[in-house]
Structure 1
Amino acid sequence: MNIPGKFHGISKIWFAVLIYFLIISVLQLIFDPAGILIPELLINRTIYLALFFVLIFFKKHFSAKIFHLLNVAGIYALLTFLYKETATLNTLIFPKIDAQLSLADEALFGFQPALYFSRWCSGCFWSELFFFGYFSYYLMPLIILFLLYKYYPHKIEAFGFVVISSFLVYYVLFILFPAAGPQFYFTYPDNAIDACGVFGHAIQLIQKHGEGPTGAFPSSHVAVSCIMLLWLYAHCRKWIKYFLPVVIILIFSTVYIKAHYVVDVVAGIVTAPLIYWATLRFYKSLLNRMSA
């Protein structure tokens, strides 16, 4: 790729977005044809379409690295809309499986880790540490993008493709394995957790406006974070030491703040290598076809 020059193609990430929309549309046509006209979904697709045409219209003004950065950052920012719509779609095929997931945790541990973890590690230090870990999930892709833009701009699209495609895969899995998570399944006060710091209040604000009873199994927080580590290990190994401790805290934080059952975390860790391999193969296949 000629980084200083102009970029005249279409970012390959849009192919992943298109396939996701097609999969969702097919599932709706099969299981709920009337639901395909849900205003929320139509608005979300219109927003993505608007972003696509804006980027295509202005692409001649950008160098390759800026164009790829704008594509990745723009699509990543809009993922919150697609995540929230899974709350509408996640019982499209099956009922929620929270009862089974909570029973699995109970069978494994003899108690509910999502309920007791925050009680055992109470206090502002532990609360802020784990809320920081959970908050880092939103920052990690952006920090890695910034580093790539500065040091390895030719790798921006590949990283963005793998990460965004992985999110989209998990959004489909949220529909196939619908679960709300402990914070929605259990009742007050068991599902509540106090926040006493900056990160705690930030996460509670995000949850208030961006969370819904969806996305528990598998844990995309855990899975996508592991996928980013796998990508860094393969392409920018020297950065691993900075992100690995944060990801470890993040993994524990998902149970601490009652967002996930332990089995969700295990499922995220187990599926991450497979999703990483599949999205990377898909990207390389598109790269070969578009370069031919």
Structure 2
Amino acid sequence: MKSKSVKARLLSPIDVITLAFTAWIMVYMAVGYKRVEGFGFHFACYLSIFVGVILSAYLERIWVGREGWFYSVFRFLRGLYPVLLFTYFYTSNHSFNRVLITTWQDPLFMEADRALFGYLPSLEWGVKYNHWLISELFHFAYFCYYPMIVGLPVYLWFKDRKAFEELIFVLTFSFYVFYFIYSLLPTIGGRYLDEALIRTKIYRAGPFTRIMAFIYNYSRHWGGAFPSSHLGITVVLTVAALSHPRTRKMGYVFAVISFIMTFSIAYCHYHWFVDSLAGIAVGIGSFYLGRWVYNKMLENR
């Protein structure tokens, strides 16, 4: 009974799922290491994260009650650290996402889009409706993901610590669901086609179109398209904001952004349209499943 209590105090729910996720990726890479690009580097990174989570949990335990700016920053980072890892987890996925399935599966999703529309929205929409205001609207919606993913957690950190902790867990859980799918299902999205890839890197229209072109000119990520985590996580943030009285008005704004983003991911040439439909479904499902898992884990602590 005592060991269970110590374990409960040492590892937070976020620690547990982060350790589980990093352990899965390390085992997956080790099994298929011959097909992993930069195996040594990425295995070392995931192992370092695994060890770092345990070490930081131990330090938090022995530093309980200590005051001062250093300990305040440490506790803040302990609560928010998965957000700092999401970018690496996403960009590293291309190194091992063809271990099980060795070829990109985009032709399947291209055919799904053709079955729905008779053409490929990721090639047609951004070219046919290319007025700079339309381009700015859709690229703005796509860009909003970045401030949203930081802004809502930080706001709740200052306003409602319990809601913050639940949000970070659900957000992290949802990301890991998407990343787990990506590790098994290699897809690129619209950039699979050279015509779309080129257009994502052209500096044109207004500031948000140019900001996204800058990001895609320098981003190293390749893969992780189906389902769209960009839209899925935006949906998670939207549902989370709508679920909390303090952030409900923010949630209404997020809902509008999510609606526009449903179409922008294809308009901006980043995804197949079916990626958005799957992203919405997985986003909603992972939010409610994540919240259920979180409550169960709290009950067992």
The match for 1:91 among 88, 98, 101 is: 98
Give the structure 2 partner of residue 43 of structure 1: 45
Give the structure 2 partner of residue 15 of structure 1: 16
- Cα distance in 2 for partners of 1:187, 1:213 equals 13
Give the structure 2 partner of residue 136 of structure 1: 144
Distance 1:175 1:62, change over 3 A: farther
- Cα distance in 1 for partners of 2:118, 2:244 equals 41
Structure 2 unmatched runs, 5+? 1-8
The match for 2:131 among 105, 123, 126 is: 123
1:251-266 paired onto structure 2 within 5 Å: 251-266=262-277
Helix, strand or coil at the partner of 2:269: coil
Question: For 1:229-254, what per-residue CA distance to the aligned partner results, in whole angstroms no more than 9, with x for missing partners?
Answer: 22223333343212211222222221
The number of residues matched between the two structures is 282
Q: Is the 8 A contact 2:22 2:46 kept in 1?
A: no
Displacement of 1:211: 4.1
- Cα distance in 2 for partners of 1:34, 1:118 equals 35
Percent sequence identity over matched residues? 24
Larger mean Cα displacement after TM superposition, 199-208 or 111-120: 199-208
Distance 1:269 1:189, change over 3 A: closer
Q: Is the 8 A contact 1:65 1:153 kept in 2?
A: no
Q: Is the 8 A contact 2:10 2:57 kept in 1?
A: no
Displacement of 1:50: 3.9
- Cα distance in 2 for partners of 1:131, 1:66 equals 34
TM-score, with structure 2 as normaliser: 0.83
Larger mean Cα displacement after TM superposition, 50-59 or 153-162: 50-59
Q: Is the 8 A contact 1:114 1:261 kept in 2?
A: yes
Which letter maps to 1:221? H
- Cα distance in 2 for partners of 1:203, 1:216 equals 17
Structure 1 unmatched runs, 5+? 1-7
User: Does residue 248 in structure 1 map to residue 259 in structure 2?
Assistant: yes
Larger mean Cα displacement after TM superposition, 26-35 or 191-200: 26-35
- Cα distance in 2 for partners of 1:201, 1:168 equals 30
- Cα distance in 1 for partners of 2:239, 2:157 equals 19
Larger mean Cα displacement after TM superposition, 158-167 or 134-143: 134-143
Give the structure 2 partner of residue 71 of structure 1: 78
CA RMSD of aligned residues (A): 2.7
Q: Is the 8 A contact 1:91 1:178 kept in 2?
A: yes
Question: For 1:7-39, what per-residue CA distance to the aligned partner results, in whole angstroms no more than 9, with x for missing partners?
Answer: x75432111111111222332344447859431
User: Does residue 167 in structure 1 map to residue 187 in structure 2?
Assistant: no
Helix, strand or coil at the partner of 2:288: helix
1:205-244 paired onto structure 2 within 5 Å: 205-236=214-245, 237-244=248-255
Helix, strand or coil at the partner of 1:38: helix
- Cα distance in 2 for partners of 1:142, 1:286 equals 25
Larger mean Cα displacement after TM superposition, 68-77 or 133-142: 68-77
Question: For 1:205-259, what per-residue CA distance to the aligned partner results, in whole angstroms no more than 9, with x for missing partners?
Answer: 3223334221110001111111222222333334321221122222222111111
Distance 1:189 1:102, change over 3 A: closer
Distance 1:190 1:207, change over 3 A: closer
Which letter maps to 2:16? F
The match for 2:165 among 157, 163, 172 is: 157
- Cα distance in 2 for partners of 1:137, 1:188 equals 25
- Cα distance in 2 for partners of 1:91, 1:54 equals 32
Distance 1:11 1:196, change over 3 A: farther
Displacement of 1:91: 0.7
- Cα distance in 2 for partners of 1:118, 1:222 equals 18
Give the structure 2 partner of residue 3 of structure 1: none
